[in-house]
Amino acid sequence: MKILEDLLYTEDHEWIRKENSEVIEGITDYAQSELQDIIYLELPEVGAEVKQGEPIGSIEAVKAVSDLYAGVSGKIVEVNSELEEKPELINKDPYEAGWIVKIEPSDPDELNTLLEPSEYRELIEKEE
């Protein structure tokens, strides 16, 4: 299971990468391995305003459906539309090709409330 050291994480197993004035969000390697074969995603609309911790879409796998939560509040500026045709990209490459949304944060200080890699590692160890 990969936990990248240059990302921030949520307790709901999303990862966040700050890139200029935006953040890129996806689900972690741990989350995709728990869900297993991802077959469908419900993605938010570009332009939608989202609030940190609230559902913004869902991920359907063979064995479960799971909500996708906003890692930060702000406006959705891009969705990974390639996932509509190839949701399995999340299983193959959750941290690069499998990114889900880009958000323009409305409150950059919310990034300070996210988990560092070491804290996320501890969270997973407790769940296993």
Residue 127 has pLDDT above 90, yes or no: no
**What is d(CA 119, CA 84) in angstroms, rounded to the nearest whole number?**
32
* Sign, CA torsion 27/29/33/34: negative
For residues 74-97, average pLDDT: 97
Summarised one tens digit per residue, pLDDT across range 4-20 is 999 999 999 999 999 99
Summarised one tens digit per residue, pLDDT across range 29-79 is 999 999 999 999 999 999 999 999 999 999 999 989 999 999 999 999 999
CATH code reported for the domain at 23-123? 2.40.50.100
> Which residue in 46, 43, 39 sits closest to 90, CA to CA?
39
Domain range list for the chain: 23-123
How much is the pLDDT for 111?
96
pTM reported for the whole predicted model: 0.94
